A and B are shown apart, each in its own frame.
Chain A
């Protein structure tokens, strides 16, 4: 693998992210300032890109496809929403809608302490590690992998969605949670807050990208690729891959959780639809379109697909599913490595010798 210092696409992307992050607050108030909508959209896109990185780490570099990463995304999102609601309640005294809806006088006991952000963060990390750790351990230990693992993770996120749709769980039920008014003591919804959230998301994206790049470039990264390409051989050589897979799986879950924590304050609502199997599948689509096994590709895929989705949600919402399914088929059949193929202009015909070469390279 090319050393970080000579990986030009990677360096360019990090540079662009940092420049945008620095430019946004500097341009505020000038005629070149971004509109509130655009600034907010950039922040959301950045959090989706973080989510795509989380999936690319486990799918692209370890060959394990999770169709349930929405679960960890939502865990971060729900904890963030709980912090925001409790914090808003402590500062402004507004009682959250879902409490009134359920006719409850007070927050359920497990909401205690959520107005203190470090505690909320610790809970998010602990819950994510617990769920991903236990699930990963039992799955990897019995060597559940491939398509089996994918559909079991899908069932996991589906069940979580059904659970969160219940109104008596104390997490907002089917209406979800909304009405966040204060974040770290500052009012939400102001231009300054929107820009700040956007900048933080971009910086987090840049640092997660950097961290992942360093990880996959390290000796540990080499082991990840070896596990992906021939796990049996690695085990035969005497290497225990269970721990490695578990560590990367939990790390990926944590990154998805961080993405969720960035996402929720920017959209201002969370509901169980975040846990729908469709969203989790879409994450895989972003990565596949961008090019799995390439961190830069995953980020670009997430940014591009979601930018088109944002735009079409206004312009022609009924057309979007057709475009998405067309994109997937195109990527799957013609550009097996996603946009990376396009960048290299390595157009591969669906059947034929060059296609075999592409498959071999993909299985590298």
Chain B
């Protein structure tokens, strides 16, 4: 059915390539005297002159453009005086043709542009300005004028302007306009060429541009053009679909990384002591605030290192939150291990205290973070999917944290003790493991991990005293779903909840995503009340 599309499309490309040099050959030399005469003529003659000016802007030599540019401007401003000997540019008093100084003779006439001719001259003026104006602001203004009438822009003008353009942002705009203009060009071959170029950039904007062409008269009359439009549409749509899928996966992965960072500390502490630390969210917040203070310190002490504050803050964020966690354990939770429900209230009191302390000290406003080069921008991949570095930072950070946590729990004596106490506290105590010391160290570890989560969050989310509460309930759900005290469970649960949230959000909204995730977890607990990766043993 569609097999003839591709060959004809290719043929179109070839034909286009062969035709390409043709327009340049037409403008061999400009009839300057004729142009000046037309400028002083009737509306029809002035229209011809306007078209000639526009063509000169596109294909004329540097010399010709420099000569013709003032004419377009003068005609618009009525600064052109026509007399018996030709015409004079009244601004500066120069002859229009020779550019020798002279006064207008007799009673000169200033021709008035007709309503129909005015846009033509404005276009010509903008075209000259785009190619010749030294000031980037004027070139940008000229580009905006041209954007209003893409169909009238002479072919080649924008390509040449883009080539000469020094400003990168402006250059991209000119190229975008060139594509639009080429899509609306009169020559079908040029349009087909433009189509394939537009389709290379598989974004929604390109799709709107291309689908609009289906309403074009050429779409119905020219089968070759129609095939090219259909092919381009299909190609862009495929690209967008792939891009959307990738973007969803990527966003889900980055959300899952944050969830994992927030939940891993909770999971270790809960597995070990049966205590849910409601202040975990506030430890995340404090991690972010420590990161901020490191940034401010660097700003004053070593501005050269400012860009590296996210890396330099890692030990600070970990140690400060770990110290708070150890203090919390030693002063408060130590006395509550036999009363886990009371420890919920106690940790909530701590969270209340920390939120309000930070609020009093720093205020409630969002903190301003620098964006270092390694977390700014991104690489556009396909469709609307941009591989952003700030999300990648969070993902990489979570991956490194996961690896280190795994090493600590699996390969160090502390980790061995933590696992032993998690499995059977009494037996571990019997064989001489100092369980209370292990509790304290593990609490420090879990709290330090929360501090690192805060650091990883600071380039992505707004940092304020309330921020901890946005993550805490999601990370509880990760712990409940993953099962207590298993790193693998936390990873899988974080990935699952992160992806489900991101998948549902565009369909029914963020609130529905949360409702559905909660219902799924409640349903899941019917099947496995101890979570995904429960440690096998007697149910308590």
Contact = CB atoms under 8 A, between A and B. Distances in A.
B and A form one assembly: yes
Interface in B340-393: 340-346, 348-350, 352-353, 355-356, 360
Interface stretch (A16-24, A121-129, A254-262, A328-336): A328-336
Contact of A150 (B341, B353, B477, B525): B341
A328 B518 contact: no
B342 A158 contact: no
Nearest to B270: A147
Interface string A130-168: 000001001101111011101110111011001101100
Nearest to A158: B473
A333 B344 contact: no
Given A166-B511, A336-B339, A281 B348 contact: yes
B336 A332 contact: yes
If over half of B's interface residues share one DSSP class (helix, strand or loop), that class is named, otherwise mixed; here it is helix
Interface string A350-364: 110001000100110
Given A288-B345, A333-B332, A325 B353 contact: yes
Contact of B518 (A155, A277, A281): A155
Nearest to A285: B345
A141 B523 CA distance: 11
Nearest to A166: B511
B345 A138 contact: no
If over half of A's interface residues share one DSSP class (helix, strand or loop), that class is named, otherwise mixed; here it is helix
Contacts of A350: 335
A351 B521 CA distance: 39
A65 B348 CA distance: 14
B480 interface: yes
Contacts of B469: 277
Contacts of A138: 522-523, 525-526
A141 B340 contact: no
Given A162-B511, A328-B348, A332-B346, A152 B521 contact: yes
A42 B476 CA distance: 37
B37 to A, nearest CB: 64
A316 to B, nearest CB: 12
Given A142-B529, A143-B529, A277-B473, A159 B514 contact: yes
A162 B514 contact: yes
A321 B511 CA distance: 29
Contacts of B162: none
B338 to A, nearest CB: 6
A321 B356 contact: yes
A139 B360 CA distance: 40
B335 A351 contact: yes
Contacts of A351: 335
A166 B511 CA distance: 8
Contacts of A162: 510-511, 514-515
Interface in A67-111: 67
B274 interface: yes
Nearest to A59: B341
Given A154-B473, A159-B518, A147 B529 contact: no
A78 to B, nearest CB: 17
Nearest to A135: B522
B344 A65 contact: yes
B276 interface: yes
B480 A152 contact: yes
Contacts of A314: none
Nearest to B340: A147
Interface in B469-486: 469, 473, 476-477, 480
A146 B341 contact: yes
A328 B346 contact: yes
Nearest to B523: A138
Contacts of A165: 511
Contacts, number: 121
| Interface range for B | 35 or more
B473 A321 contact: no
Contacts of A205: none
Given A65-B341, A144-B525, A329 B349 contact: yes
B526 A141 contact: yes
Nearest to B359: A318
Given A142-B526, A142-B529, A328-B349, A163 B511 contact: yes
Contacts of B350: 325, 329
Contacts of B339: 336, 359, 362
Interface in A305-332: 318, 321-322, 324-326, 328-329, 332
Contacts of A326: 349, 353
Nearest to A141: B526
Indicate the member of B348, B469, B477 with the most A CB atoms within 10 Å.
B348
A333 B335 contact: yes
Nearest to B344: A150
A359 B338 contact: yes
Contact of A284 (B332, B345, B356, B539): B345
B522 A139 contact: yes
Give the residue among B345, B511, B529 with the most A Cβ atoms within 10 A.
B345
Nearest to A333: B335
B360 A318 contact: yes
A143 B346 CA distance: 25
A329 B333 CA distance: 10
A138 B514 CA distance: 19
Contact of A321 (B274, B341, B352, B521): B352
A54 B117 CA distance: 83
Contact of B480 (A143, A151, A156): A151
B356 A142 contact: no
A172 B360 CA distance: 33
Contacts of A325: 349-350, 352-353, 356
Nearest to B524: A142
B342 A159 contact: no
A167 to B, nearest CB: 11
Contacts of A159: 511, 514-515, 518
Contact of A322 (B353, B476, B515): B353
Nearest to B266: A151
A364 B15 CA distance: 93
Nearest to B333: A332
B508 to A, nearest CB: 11
B356 A322 contact: yes
Interface string B318-330: 0000000000000
A154 B522 CA distance: 13
Contact of B476 (A151, A166, A329): A151
B518 A329 contact: no
Nearest to A67: B344
A335 to B, nearest CB: 11
Nearest to A169: B511
A66 to B, nearest CB: 10
Nearest to B476: A151
A141 B360 CA distance: 45
B335 A321 contact: no
Most central of B275, B338, B341 by chain A CB within 10 Å: B341
Contacts of B341: 59, 65, 146-147, 150
Given A165-B511, A277-B473, A332-B349, 5 more contacts: A151-B476, A281-B345, A288-B342, A332-B342, A332-B343
Give me the 7 closest cross-chain CB pairs, A-B, nearest first.
Answer: A328-B349, A325-B349, A325-B353, A321-B356, A142-B529, A325-B352, A151-B476
25 contacts: A135-B522, A139-B522, A142-B525, A144-B529, A146-B340, A147-B275, A150-B276, A152-B521, A159-B511, A159-B518, A162-B511, A162-B515, A163-B511, A277-B469, A284-B344, A284-B345, A288-B342, A321-B353, A322-B353, A322-B356, A329-B332, A329-B346, A333-B346, A355-B335, A359-B339
Interface of A: 59, 65, 67, 135, 138-139, 141-144, 146-148, 150-152, 154-156, 158-159, 162-163, 165-166, 277, 281, 284-285, 288, 318, 321-322, 324-326, 328-329, 332-333, 336, 350-351, 355, 359, 362-363
